[in-house]
Amino acid sequence: MSTRISLTVNGVKHVLDVADDALLLDVLREQVGTTSVREGCGVGACGACTVLADGKGISSCLALAVRYDGADLTTAEGLDDNDEVVSSFVECGAAQCGYCIPGMVVMTKELLAQNPRPSAEQITEHLAGNLCRCGTYPEILQAATTAASRRAAQ
Ligand code: FES
Ligand code: FES
């Protein structure tokens, strides 16, 4: 069985026929083409598949696409190079293989929307569900701190 749903992804509306058991992760990668959304663990434990749904970070590997009919989704593709988080990650060298970074970036966006001036502890806590196999945590923390200062200065 499939169902027609509508997803707004990075400001663009998509009307899609999706299998009733299709995961949002697979629909985003295969039907929408937002390949920054990555599959790591597939069981909600690594954060590589994180997207923002109506501003809230969710694990798309655990989400049935049909449950998000009408949702407004943001993936890393929706952020341009001038975005304070993206530019801070680039300037701080916060990536080795890069696999985890889109999830880290959108979680940082979520944090700064909720708390524009987070402490280092609050950043670490907010990103605790996002794992980096390369151990780039110091640079990621620096990038998130830089993004917060940039946002505060605007
Ligand atoms: S792939 Fe979704 S949390 Fe790991
Ligand atoms: S940069 Fe490689 S997993 Fe994080």
pTM: 0.96
Residues 105, 10: Cα–Cα separation, whole Å:
14
- For residue 139, give the ligand nearest its CA: 2
**Domains of the chain and any CATH numbers:** 2-77 (3.10.20.30), 79-153 (1.10.150.120)
Using most ligand atoms within 8 A of CB, pick from 132, 139, 140 the residue to mutate for ligand 2: 132
What pLDDT sits at residue 152? 84
Distance CA 109, CA 107 (A): 5
pLDDT at res. 46: 98
Write b or e for each residue in 33-42: b if 16 or more Cβ atoms lie within 10 A of its Cβ, otherwise e. Answer: ebebbbebee
Report how far ligand 2's centroid is from the alpha carbon of 68 (Å). 28
From ligand 2's centre to the CA of 50, what distance in Å?
14
C-alpha torsion sign, points 138, 144, 146, 148 = negative
Residue with CA closest to ligand 2 atom 2: 97
CA-CA distance, 58 to 71, in Å (whole number)?
12
Residue nearest to atom 3 of ligand 1 (CA): 44
Q: Tens digit of pLDDT per residue, the chain (154 long)?
A: 999 999 999 999 999 999 999 999 999 999 999 999 999 999 999 999 999 999 999 999 999 999 999 999 999 999 999 999 999 999 999 999 999 999 999 999 999 999 999 999 999 999 999 999 999 999 999 999 999 999 888 7
pLDDT at 153: 83
